[in-house]
A and B are shown apart, each in its own frame.
Chain A
Amino acid sequence: MTSVDVGEAHGLHYALQWLHDMRMDNVDFVVDSKMVADAFNSNRTNVTEFGQIIAACKELFSSSFVNSRVEFNRRQANEVAHALACEATRSASPNIYLKVPDCIATIVGNEML
């Protein structure tokens, strides 16, 4: 269990690693934490735990991604990721789904309309 901003920053870091493993470029990373998006896009250094994770994100981002960006979106536009994260608190191990899992099928369907 971590604090909220640290958790959100970890989320970004995992996502960066995941897409880096798949060798993806041209990616729009969307977070619903203004703290994370602002810290990521600013040049200020931050020595807290949160700042260190963001620094690690920046390094991974600048070394592995071309033509990509990290942006902020309101929570209402991030419902699928939210539902998935809630599900993740109950899951025993990290998972990668290649098919839309049941817990988010309805929301994905609605958003794709």
Chain B
Amino acid sequence: MYSVKSAYRLCMEDLVDTSHLHKPGFWSGIWKLKVPPKIKNLIWRMCRGCLPTRVRLQDKGVQCSLHYVSCDHPLENLIHVFFSCPFAQQVWRLAGLWAAVYHAMMTNVAASGVVFSLVQNLGSDLRHRMVTIIWSLWKHRNNKLWQNENETAVVVVDCARKLLSEWMDANTAAGSARHPSGSHASVHTGSAIPHVQAPSIRWQRPQLGRLKCNINAAFASTVNRTGLGAVSVMLMAHMCCPALGVLRQ
């Protein structure tokens, strides 16, 4: 069957020879991650070796020092920034991923290999945490380099945790709000949004000792009337005592 995708495939693979650009790796695993797109993009650039670390900059002819700003290690390359720097190790320990990262580092030489192996072997939650930590480490490096901010390992881990949880909340809530029926959600949101049971929006009890008064209006155009409804609920001890009112205009 013809599709834009198949035409693209044909152009890229059969008409033009791009095989010298292929880099083997577990790319599909990276694109399937349920994390903010900016993180996926960073991981992709990292695995392609495009991140402007100082070693990479010198390769490309930029005159700059090779020192890593965060710990004064003489060579700022990917493997050092993300995995072997003592600061990075501390971050991985705090995130509870050091054992996995260490194992991956022992079995792979290149930074991209380490990431591919981690993405392949970790469970879904840990995988998402791992890539977000990588993003956070790069952010830490940039903050230090450009703003001269010194962050602690705790801050780096916390920043990652916050980013990921906020993104997940926003995506599940947005998904359920756009498709309140729920039945279409899987069709439209497809792969972009994780299939987590969305927290449904529902009525909350008032705090102890407070009265809650819900108000709404309804409009009946056929009889030219507006109806108003107000419901009050008071929470006393652990019992809800509803008092109700209907008002008409």
Name A residues whose Cβ lies closer than 8 Å to a Cβ of B. 1-2, 4, 7-8, 10-12, 14-15, 18-19, 24, 26-33, 73-74, 76-101, 104, 108, 111-112
CB neighbours (8 Å) of A101 from chain B are 244, 246
Residue B227 is within 8 A (CB to CB) of chain A in the complex: yes
- Asked if B218 and A82 make an inter-chain contact with CB atoms under 8 angstroms apart, the answer reads yes
Given known A-B contacts A11-B215, A14-B247, A88 and B224 have beta carbons under 8 A apart: no
- Which 7 A-B residue pairings sit nearest by Cβ, starting from the closest? A88-B227, A84-B229, A85-B229, A89-B227, A85-B218, A81-B216, A89-B220
- Asked if A94 and B219 make an inter-chain contact with CB atoms under 8 angstroms apart, the answer reads no
- Asked if A74 and B230 make an inter-chain contact with CB atoms under 8 angstroms apart, the answer reads no
- Asked if B202 and A111 make an inter-chain contact with CB atoms under 8 angstroms apart, the answer reads yes
Given known A-B contacts A26-B211, A27-B210, A77-B204, A85 and B245 have beta carbons under 8 A apart: no
Q: Out of B212, B230, B242, which one reaches A11, CB within 8 Å?
A: B230
Q: Out of B215, B227, B245, which one reaches A12, CB within 8 Å?
A: B215
CB neighbours (8 Å) of A81 from chain B are 214-216, 229-231
Given known A-B contacts A11-B229, A87-B229, A30 and B244 have beta carbons under 8 A apart: no
- Asked if B226 and A1 make an inter-chain contact with CB atoms under 8 angstroms apart, the answer reads yes
Q: What is the bound-complex CA distance between A6 and B209, given in angstroms?
A: 31
- Asked if A1 and B224 make an inter-chain contact with CB atoms under 8 angstroms apart, the answer reads yes
Residue interface bits B173-215, CB-to-A below 8 A is 1, else 0: 0000000100000000000000000001111101001111111
- Asked if A30 and B215 make an inter-chain contact with CB atoms under 8 angstroms apart, the answer reads yes
CB neighbours (8 Å) of B216 from chain A are 8, 11, 31-32, 78, 81-82, 84-85
